[in-house]
Structure 1
Amino acid sequence: MARRHELTDAAWQRIEPLLPAQPARGGRWLDHRTVLNGMLWKLATGAPWRDLPERYGNWKTVYERYRRWAGDGTFDAILAHLQVHDDAVGRLDWTVSVDSTIVRAHQHAAGARKKGMTQGTNRTRQALGRSRGGLTTKIHLVCDGRGLPLAFCITPGNINDCTRLVQVIESIRIPRPGAGRPRIRPDRLIADKGYSTNKIRTYLRGRQIPHTIPERSDQQAIRTRRGHRPCGFDPGIYRLRNVIERCFNRLKQWRGIATRYDKLARHYRAGITLVSALLWITT
């Protein structure tokens, strides 16, 4: 019987074919399912790798495979496969919502100063920013109408939300199961006032993406003073934006996501990708 946060038999059957083949010969090889369960335990608890329970094998074995899969795109391939499957059967809801959330970085995530590089530059490269509460990382994410992650990026916590909308939207790329171009354009985008800028609205119109974004009060006053037409806004559609908040809540139930303990940005991003894939399987 699977323990809490471990892969069920149904989840393992969907993930197993997507993992790298295990070597036929060589020394003792810890099976992929045990290793993945160790990764999930670490993300669920936020504990150091060295505190991994013995039932998951040597902690260094689990860490090295996590590091390897984070670098070679294995976790990204798993998430993409699950998204393609749901889109093919018509389960993916293309009314998407976008937002960001700030994650506090633990002191162990700060890392050491690299040779020939200032501390501030190194932190920026590793998606760490100095905020009022200390070092933070920000997750910019777009989810489908069911609250499942479609694409995301991570930045230092002091980066403005609207500056990363284009990057996140252009990260949406769902291949077709057969021939044809990947699906890259949602049916509608829903966002809050933080994304209400002329640049963003112009970009979305250029991409022919209908959007529901409320105006800020100062923008409304300027538009009224200049006699411009109001931007289209449907409060009923805007209520659907709650799915992005629920998506963040589900991600942050994993302590390794709610607080960043990883020094390297690619390792923290890999954890978000793995948990996102699990959400697609269990929803």
Structure 2
Amino acid sequence: MPTVDAHTRHDLTDAQWNLLKPLLPAPSRCGRPRRYGLRDLINGIKHRIRTGVPWRDVPDCYGPWWRVYALFRTWQLSGIWSRIEAELQSWADGQGHLGWDISVDSTTARAHIHAAGARRDSSERLDGEPDNHALGRSRGGFSTKIHLACDQHLQAVSFTVTAGQAGDAPQLTEVLDRIQVARPGPGRPRSRPNRVLADKAYSSQANRSYLRCRNITTTIPVKKDQAANRKAKGSAGGRPPTFDSEAYKGRNVVERCFNALKHNRAVATRYDKLAVRFQAVVQIANIDRWLKRLS
């Protein structure tokens, strides 16, 4: 039987490469031709994210480690990873492979010791880099939180990262506002889900008002103290929010999506000093899952 190299068993298949290639930027006509192909360098990036090895330890079969890292960094700075992810989502929506019942939750990525020590002026030098680099201390230790919106097919539709001690409820609006799925032809991108499912951590008056104003069906259970406060107010407390317990059973897709993403060790453990680099890591993991689903 043919053997599979341990380094290359998660590389792009021909079908995945054929789907990805048209979305890549056109090659520059200036400079020297690449000794290593773009496909090899992208596979090197995927290998690093899958295994969590330092960039210097990326196998030589993908090319010099510094070229692999340079491509990852350059495309992050120019927004190419974000554009590829957005175009795959748009294509999936056009083919009916993106669902609009959205589950929202968060997960913690423990920060490795190598994630500490970013330059203090990084937030001034890089667009989108928070002052705290999305690193903080929580019960899980030194960590980063990934707040994510997932469709019923276990595909991430949007996400944001915060420090590990950040609360879940305030991030609901941020995650939903990041949903922007372009449609074929003219018109604005779709940004409004049909339904939002979340656990009790997201049960707040502000979140429910936001979802009501956007005419989004809400499936979030009420906390016991909130129910008790409403009951104590009598008729002034108003009617309790509706809750569809049968629809709520579908919320588990976001937990399963986190489980799939964390098969990539550089997502499960944060090794990157900068939040914008870690966001690119999560984006590439999302791109990989879209390619596997759509190819």
Question: TM-score range with shorter-chain normalisation?
Answer: over 0.9
168, 172, 176: which is aligned to 1:165? 172
21, 25, 30: which is aligned to 1:20? 25
Q: Does 1:95 align with 2:93?
A: no
Give the secondary structure class of the aligned counterpart of 1:172.
coil
132, 139, 143: which is aligned to 1:132? 139
Paired AA for residue 280 in structure 2? A
Between 107-116 and 30-39, the greater mean CA deviation after superposition: 107-116
1:123 to partner: Cα distance: 7.7
Alignment partner, residue 187 of structure 1: 194
Alignment partner, residue 163 of structure 2: 156
Query: 8 Å contact 2:118–2:274 — kept in the other structure?
Result: no
Give the secondary structure class of the aligned counterpart of 1:125.
coil
1:23 to partner: Cα distance: 3.0
Query: 8 Å contact 1:44–1:254 — kept in the other structure?
Result: yes
Paired AA for residue 135 in structure 2? L
1:113 to partner: Cα distance: 5.1
Paired AA for residue 202 in structure 1? S
Q: Does 1:109 align with 2:106?
A: no
Separation of aligned partners in 1, 2:280 and 2:214: 29
Q: Which consecutive segments of 4 or more residues in structure 1 shift more than 4 A?
A: none
Alignment partner, residue 242 of structure 1: 252
What's the Cα RMSD here? Answer: 1.8
TM-score (norm 1): 0.94
Query: 8 Å contact 1:124–1:156 — kept in the other structure?
Result: no
81, 89, 105: which is aligned to 1:83? 89
246, 253, 262: which is aligned to 2:263? 253
Paired AA for residue 266 in structure 2? G
Aligned length: 279
1:132 to partner: Cα distance: 3.4
Residue pairs, 1:18-57, within 5 angstroms: 18-24=23-29, 26-29=31-34, 30-57=36-63
Q: Cα–Cα, structure 1 residues 116 and 32, in superposed 2: closer, same or farther, change >3 Å?
A: closer
Q: Cα–Cα, structure 1 residues 179 and 28, in superposed 2: closer, same or farther, change >3 Å?
A: closer
Q: Does 1:276 align with 2:268?
A: no
Q: Does 1:70 align with 2:81?
A: no
1:277 to partner: Cα distance: 1.2
Query: 8 Å contact 1:45–1:255 — kept in the other structure?
Result: yes
Q: Cα–Cα, structure 1 residues 241 and 12, in superposed 2: closer, same or farther, change >3 Å?
A: same
Deviations 1:151-171 (A, max 9, x none): 000010111011111111000
Alignment partner, residue 211 of structure 1: 218
